[in-house]
Structure 1
């Protein structure tokens, strides 16, 4: 969410491990660059983000969700495909796109990859604005012991880090602040 230089200048807590070092510790450098990216996606994004979100969303709606492309036979087969089939001219999922061309509309087959995004920026600027300012915006916010107050204020005022995923940064800080408050009440 934040560049390492931003983290170093804003962070007020104990020393931390740079994100790049964490990612490098997980990746296998014996793989091709594409396989390294896929391996990292499996070890980092799927396990700690995407599968968790799917599980929470389906449980909240009392439905069962399946990820057919994560079947171990399908995944093992996909690993055997040459890079040129998995990524052609910068376009991911080339094999799937080719397989469904003519069966699905061109709009679907040629659509860019995208997630199921929530309108987080809109919520933070509207419905959650009061909550945001009553937590992060306060001078006694616990997070200010870890992140420089000028950085927090600048980001909240939308004067800093607008070239990043502003909403995700602010939401992460909000969750951290709420967790820190909960931890303090337990202590």
Structure 2
């Protein structure tokens, strides 16, 4: 993918690496080793160019693309996004520009036994309810804030401030808030 990014950049700007500075390609990977064979090198430069040609302003989210192979707390993970506008206060005349802060998240971590919602360890409850079933409950693929609580049958996902597998949890689920994004675990689907 790095070579495909470099080729695309040079095609768009032939002076890269000549009169202009060079580029640094960025390729990120999330482990879906239980699903994929890394040695097959299945994703090609053509796949990269095809993906770039089909970019939209409203990307799909959930179990699509990179989100397809994700597993979060042993349940289905996915890919999602969130954004907020950061406003600056200034003492100078006029106003400072607003900035948009965005996040693209692949939820791919944790074991079911570590799933905590509103301070309650739910992993064993979910495991017991899912016994003998072939499908898992949907797991929120995103960071959510500013969502109203819909009662005890729904939980909103909000990781703790330090985003690591060891500290991510949904302890503050009932008080979390999300603008346009809302992610829930529906008990009757377990």
Q: What TM-score do you get using the length of structure 1 for normalisation?
A: 0.21
Query: Quick check: which one's helix share is greater?
Result: 1
Higher relative contact order (CA 8 A, sep 6+): 1
Q: What TM-score do you get using the length of structure 2 for normalisation?
A: 0.20
